[in-house]
Amino acid sequence: MVQYLRLFGLALLLTAGVGSVGQAASFDCNKATTETEIAICGDPQLSKLDEVLAELYQIKKSINYSSAQLSEVSDQLKKYNPLYDNFPAFTRDQTKANQLAWVKNEQANCLANNKCLVVAYNKRILDFFDFSGDQQTQKWRILEKLDPIDSKFSIIIWSFNNNVSGKVDGCFDRNCRGVYYLVSIHSKVSGNIIDVTPTLILPKDNDRLQYEMGIFPSVGDEISISLSSWMSSGSWGSSTNTYNFKISDEAVRLKSYQHFEYSRNIHLFKTTILDFENNRISIEIENGSDDNQEVFDQILEPDESLVIRKSFDTIPPLNFKQVDPDTMYDVMEKIKEQSLP
């Protein structure tokens, strides 16, 4: 998202005094015929805005979930909450329809009025992003985007506020549908989508549940996605899942996985790392309480830590769509069973 904001800011700083003629990204300026097209091509500021909007549109249009796929997602999510019976549509046709409506009702009505066009483009570009989480209309919007400089790929977290109560963070209500998330990976070279998953980040259906998400570049075409969750009340504690993916044009594979959990009631900190390239499991447990605690048949004194490192048998590679909280929990427990005493 930072990249787009910089482009957006750059476009606003351009002035009509720049001598070169702009090149719009959504159409060929050599074939411009309407007043609006000619105005866009003749103004570098508008040409830059058109370029930014065209890229956003192509990225969003590359995601298309059929009714069958949507049904599968709903079935997957029902195991977490029976209310997840209608995963919000993310279809190419709807994306096209929204863009065509903007062209017809906003862009075309400006004719050759440059000031009107700048306002229309700004509003439309901002409509692709979810800055506050408070969505006036139900649309899939970009919550976070990362474009690593040394990578051919970009990654996006999308959000869809399906909460009819109007709350941003979900609702503590039997009829709440909450906030949905979807993660997609795109090629910066071709603009094509590499892979997409709707279950890596579970829907948020409780305003007591807090999420903190992050996307971080690693080395080359590796990328990490981190999700922390905690309850704002009670003694549930907190946890953080970090997924490190290796991306290629053919596949997205899980390279390593880290699970951190903190039990608020017993003050125990536990970090488990699964290294799938080297088939190694690492577990570090720290006693943050004032009392002795028994862990893996060992007594840990206050502030004392225990570190375990073991090898495990090779498991089949996990791809982007296979990775979800339940799957990783099952994999982690299976590896513990074969590796730990």
- Residues 193-252 have pLDDT tens digits of 999 998 898 888 777 778 888 888 777 788 899 999 887 665 567 889 999 999 988 889
Tokens of 299: 């007594």
Cβ(16)–Cβ(114) below 8 Å = yes
| Radius of gyration of the CA atoms of the chain, in A | 24
- Containing H/E element for 146? strand 141-146
The C-alpha torsion from 3 through 9 and 14 to 15, rounded to 10°, is 160
Report yes or no: 167 and 207 within 8 Å, Cβ to Cβ: yes
The parts of the chain modelled with pLDDT lower than 70 are 1-25, 132-137, 163-177, 232-236, 341
Amino acid letter at 88? P
Determine the pLDDT at residue 118: 95
Beta-bridge partner residues of 273:
258, 282
Q: Is the pTM of this model over 0.95?
A: no
